[in-house]
């Protein structure tokens, strides 16, 4: 299980609103991707079990693969850097790596949190730019890249360099968290909508009401002021009325 360094996390950075991002990329439902098969370039490697997101930026940093009998007892993390197309009909998410490459990647212990030391070994192994070094959402870029870009000049490196804290949370773990509006508790987290280009979570799907009166609305992650893991609650600047009148969630399952 991924653990957090503090009980109360600062607000993640802003996102756009609606079913599409500003660059017209569709948002994907995280919940609809659970269970998708993961296909390496030379065969299947299991299925998608979970996602780990950075609670400072809302970026999905890793996919968690359940490798079944292939690598029993081992947890495999896959970065969006290597993701290819998603076959919705066959429910397969393609990964641009070989099984051998994945098998020999740095191993992580399932009962311990992801450390920066592990991430450094992981990124060095695959040859990708580290997301914690640079001004972009993915370090030197606004989205995951497959080829190592030119190294930034030392003066261009952001203050994220040397920031050893790892702020990763499981989307499965956070699903169901209460939503606390500016004037009281109102609904809970049902799903996350992620930009397929940047792999940043842009919207929360919040379920409100009870039984037959319940419905789902989309709330921008930019309105989240604080996440309390001790209370299993996300605090938003929106009022109950504003949440109730947020755009309804109508995205089709993938």
Establish if 5 belongs to a structural domain: no
Establish if 249 belongs to a structural domain: no
Establish if 12 belongs to a structural domain: no
Establish if 9 belongs to a structural domain: no
Q: Please, which pLDDT band fits residue 159 given cuts at 50, 70 and 90? A: very low
CATH number of the domain at 91, please: 2.30.30.240
Q: Which of 147, 169, 191 is the last residue of a domain?
A: 169
Shared domain check, 108 and 188: no
What is each CA distance from 6 to 193, 226, 231, 233, 236, in whole angstroms? 25, 12, 12, 14, 19
**How high does pLDDT run on average in the chain?**
84
Q: In the chain, how many domains are there?
A: 2
Residues 6 or more apart whose Cβ sits within 8 Å of residue 102: 40, 45, 76, 78, 95
pLDDT of residue 109: 76
Shared domain check, 184 and 162: no
Q: Which of 169, 201, 219 is the last residue of a domain?
A: 169
Shared domain check, 202 and 165: no
Establish if 195 belongs to a structural domain: yes
pLDDT at residue 1 tops 50 = no
pLDDT of residue 17: 34
Establish if 11 belongs to a structural domain: no
Q: Which of 127, 145, 169 is the last residue of a domain?
A: 169
Shared domain check, 230 and 162: no
145 against 41, higher pLDDT: 41
Helical spans, DSSP H, in the chain: 30-33, 99-103, 116-126, 171-174, 240-244
**pLDDT tens profile 210-239:** 755 678 999 999 999 999 999 999 999 999
Q: In the chain, what is the straight-line distance between the N-terminal and C-terminal CA atoms, in Å?
A: 26
Q: Please, which pLDDT band fits residue 112 given cuts at 50, 70 and 90? A: confident
Shared domain check, 212 and 151: no
Average pLDDT over residues 87-103: 94
Establish if 2 belongs to a structural domain: no
Structural domain harbouring 240: 173-244
Shared domain check, 162 and 203: no
Establish if 106 belongs to a structural domain: yes
Shared domain check, 147 and 21: yes
Shared domain check, 140 and 30: yes
Shared domain check, 111 and 47: yes
Shared domain check, 223 and 132: no
**pLDDT tens profile 130-155:** 999 888 999 989 999 766 555 554 44
Shared domain check, 163 and 41: yes
Helical spans, DSSP H, in 110-214: 116-126, 171-174
pLDDT at residue 88 tops 90 = no
Q: Please, which pLDDT band fits residue 108 given cuts at 50, 70 and 90? A: confident
3-class state of residue 139 by DSSP: strand
Shared domain check, 46 and 70: yes
């Amino acid at each position: 299980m991924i653990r957090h360094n503090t009980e109360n996390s600062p607000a993640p950075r802003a996102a756009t609103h609606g079913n599409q991002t500003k660059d017209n990329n569709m948002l994907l439902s995280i919940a609809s991707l659970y269970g998708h098969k993961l296909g390496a370039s030379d065969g299947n490697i299991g299925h998608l079990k979970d996602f780990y997101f950075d609670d400072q930026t809302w970026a999905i940093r890793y996919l968690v693969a359940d490798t079944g009998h292939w690598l029993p007892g081992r947890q495999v993390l896959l970065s969006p850097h290597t993701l290819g197309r998603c076959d919705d009909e066959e429910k397969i998410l393609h990964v641009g790596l070989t099984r051998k490459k994945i098998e020999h990647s740095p191993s992580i212990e399932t009962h311990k949190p992801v450390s920066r030391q592990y991430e450094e070994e992981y990124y060095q192994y695959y040859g990708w730019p580290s997301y914690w070094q640079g001004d972009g959402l993915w370090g030197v870029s606004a989205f995951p890249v497959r080829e190592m870009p030119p190294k930034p000049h030392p003066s261009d490196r952001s203050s994220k360099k040397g920031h050893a804290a790892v702020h990763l949370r499981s989307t499965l773990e956070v699903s169901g968290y209460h939503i606390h509006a500016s004037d009281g508790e109102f609904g809970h987290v049902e799903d996350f909508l992620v930009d397929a280009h940047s792999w940043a979570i842009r919207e929360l799907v919040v379920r409100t009401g009870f039984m037959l009166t319940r419905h789902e609305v989309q709330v921008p992650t930019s309105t989240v002021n604080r996440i309390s893991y001790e209370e299993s609650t996300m605090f938003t600047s929106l009022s109950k009325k504003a949440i109730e009148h947020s755009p309804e969630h109508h995205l089709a399952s993938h």
